Amino acid sequence: MTSIIFRACTAAACRVASNFYTGRRRVLQQAVTNHVISLQQQTCVAQIHYRNASSTQASIDNDDTEQTHDDGLYLLTDLSLATQNRIRSMKARHDEVLRLLHEGGDPTSLGKELSTLREMSAYCEKVAEIHAEVISLEELLQETEASGDEDSKDMIHEIKDELEELEAQLQPLSQKMHKSLIPLLNPDDAEELMSSDAVIDIRAGTGGDEACLFASEIMAGYEAIAKSGGVGGKSWDIEILSCSKTDLGGVKEASLAVSSRGGGGGGSYGYELFDVSSDDKPEEADDTAQKLLQQLGPYGFFQYESGVHRVQRVPVNDNKLQTSAVAVGVLPAIPESQVSDALPLSELKIDVMRASGAGGQHVNTTESAVRITHIPTGIMAYMQEERSQHKNRSKAMRLVAARVHSLRKQQALQERSNARSSLMGGGDRSERVRTYNFPQDRITDHRCKVSLQGVQSWLVDGSMVGKFAPHLYQMERDDRTAALEEELDDSGKDEKKRRKK
């Protein structure tokens, strides 16, 4: 009987204790909820007043430090103050674009801009929610500690646990916001990277016949990967604009046109959080790299092939290791409908002549070959592949237009102080970018410092293009990130000097 009474009392005591702690938990949650609702109401009122401001950027510049910290970004301690201010300006611009759309603004341009800012705005709202909960919990913690009640120790412990959980949510948010601030595809180039066709120039360099043979292998690899549509699963069209071959089957010089014709690339404007950094798990990195490549058109897929490709191997007719080189240039193609606008006839010198070499009755008998020279730049293209002078002229015009457009683009980049950094190089065909070492069965890209084993397997189907491209896009984003950090830090220092004055 005594044991039964003891067990009954123990069970009753446990139920009382459980009800007590459950009640404490509910009180804590209700207190936090009430604080959060109050702060959210205050935030909504502040946002309404803010959106009605006449100048978004001016309001940011004139805010006091305490007002600026109401958004909770100061909790993201791994982001510099300048970066936080840049994020605030993006959030403010997002709200302003929404207002302009509601007032009947241009849905095309504003909608595109809104898509680039929506993700960052969502992150800011999430940080603001966490910030409101942190403030509420800190106030509740101060009140509970001030009470000095022995029974409040458990509640203090629960509050601190809640604060730790909220702080744990901030780190991944901070990383996502940093990546969203610098999209993987440069916004200035994103549309061209995803929609433009490509013209690929291949030219054998030092190494004689061995260089020509390797040029033919690279050309075959590019053709193979292009026929599979990069990695998109849809075939791209390939047109050989010109090709000069040797008696051994090598290629001295060739130009290819790769066209999607609606069959590859596309999607959004490259603002997805594709991250191919080394911190990712292999399967996650492969998945995100695949998503990136599926967004790219022919030019975006092949653009980082520009440069000198060096091969080290023993020729068939020799027993010594030989080093040869092939220069590759990848240019964005100009649509045929825009060629005449890009190249006015007043800037062109067009010569027609008889074709040379083997090829049948039309060789040396009809003036089917065409040479077009762009007078201002001296860029020239010679075409004799077709029997028709009209077709050769059309191909030569496309090739000259692509080369002139590429030159103008490079000049524009050089004029800007934030041209691509030395880590990536300028995409110039004179820059060594990759080495194919056959004795060691290894391909090494010297820009991203990534090596692949199995030269022939990667080269024969051109799959090395899709393997290296994500790493190179990641490097280009890292360069832009460093440049932006430097720019923001400089602007922050200038702002501090201005306020002191």
Tens digit of each residue's pLDDT (9 = 90 or more) over 283-305: 555 667 777 888 889 999 999 99
Structure tokens at 323: 């080093």
pLDDT of residue 204: 93
Q: Give yes or no for a contact between 76 and 130, defined as CB atoms under 8 angstroms apart.
A: no
Maximum alpha-carbon separation in the chain: 124
Task: Look at residue 454 in the predicted model and tell me its pLDDT.
Answer: 93
pLDDT of residue 342: 75
Stretches in the chain below the pLDDT threshold 50: 1-22, 35-36, 39-68, 263-278, 417-428
Output the CA–CA distances (angstroms, integers) from residue 168 to 1, 279, 449, in the order listed. 52, 19, 33
Q: Which residues of 295-333 are buried (b: 16+ CB within 10 A; e: fewer)?
A: bbbbbbbbbbbbbbbbbbbeeeeeeeeeebbbbbbbbbb
Contacts of 473 (CB under 8 A, 6+ apart): 184, 185, 274, 276, 292, 304
What was the pLDDT predicted at 214? 95
Give pLDDT, residue 273: 42
* One-letter-per-residue 3-state SS of 15-28: HHHHHHHHHHHHHH
Q: Is the Cβ–Cβ distance between 87 and 74 less than 8 Å?
A: no
pLDDT of 159 reads 87
What does residue 429 show for φ and ψ, rounded to 5 degrees? -70, -10
Q: Are 410 and 421 in contact (CB under 8 A)?
A: no
Rounded to an integer, what distance in angstroms lies between the CA atom of residue 75 and that of residue 364?
A: 77
Q: Is the dihedral angle over the CA atoms 10, 15, 18, 19 positive or is it negative?
A: negative
This prediction has a pTM of: 0.65
CB 84 within 8 A of CB 170: no
Distance CA 432, CA 43 (A): 55
- What is the Rg, in whole angstroms, of the alpha carbon atoms belonging to the chain? 32
Predicted pLDDT of residue 476: 87
What CA–CA distances, in Å, run from 308 to 211, 430, 432, 439? 11, 6, 4, 20
Amino acid at 449: K
Q: Give CA–CA dist 9/353, Å, rounded.
A: 111
